[in-house]
Amino acid sequence: MKYKDNPDEGIRLYDIVKPKVGIFRNKECIIVAKDKNYITTNIIDNGLTLSLHPNKFIFVKHLNKNEVKQYFNKINDNIETLLKNYSDKKYIKNNWCSDSLIINSITAKTIDKVLKENNIGIKNTIDFLEHNKKFIEILCIYNDWNFCEYIIELMFDNKRNDNDDKLRIFKIMYNWLNN
C-alpha cells in the first residue's frame, strides 16, 4: 500500500499521518494497524481511534523506535488529561457548548453518578445527553434556575408525558453544575 499524496512512500505501522476529512482533519495520528482497505490510527491529541481508507490520509513522516515511544507517551499523557477534564464539572460546564467531544462515556458516567446520588437512574445517559444537549446548554450558560426552567418549559414538546421527570433531572444537573 502506498500513500496517494506520496506514492514513493509505502504505508508502515507507526507512521505519522493526518486525515484529510472529518472533524479531526489535519490532526496528527499514528498508524497502529492496517489492512487492504483501511488504516487504523490513534489521534495524538486525544488517543481516540480513527479508521479510514488510506487515500483519506496525508503522509507526514516515518518514525524510528525512540520516536514511537515518545509519541505513545504523549498520547497517554493526553488521554489522562482528557479523562480528568471530562470528569470535572467545571470543565463540563465551561466547555459544554464548545467541545465537540463533550458527550462521551466519561462525561456520561460523571453525570450518571450525580443523578444516582439523587435516586434517579437513566437507562442510557449518553443518549439522554445527546437528545437534551440544547437544554443542558441552557443550564451551563445561565446562572438563574427560574429563568432556565422558564426557557426549558417553553422548549418542551407538550405531547410528551415525561416533561416533569426531565425537569427534575435538569434541576439536579443545574444544582450540580452551579454549586
The residue-averaged pLDDT of 41-50 equals 94
For every residue of 88-99, DSSP letters joined together read -HHHHHHHTTT-
Give CA–CA dist 92/95, Å, rounded.
Answer: 5
- Indicate the CATH number for domain 16-83: 2.30.30.140
Inform me whether the pLDDT recorded for 131 exceeds 70. Answer: yes
Task: Please name the amino acid found at residue 21.
Answer: V
Annotated domain spans of the chain: 16-83, 87-177
pLDDT tier, 58 (very low <50, low <70, confident <90, very high otherwise): very high
What's the pLDDT at 164? 84
Q: What is the pTM of this model?
A: 0.79
Q: The C-alpha cell of 47 is what?
A: 488517543
- Place 137 in a pLDDT band, splitting at 50, 70 and 90: very high
Write down the pLDDT at residue 158. Answer: 65
Listed range (29-33, 128-132, 164-168) with the worst mean pLDDT: 164-168
Q: Residue 159: what pLDDT?
A: 62
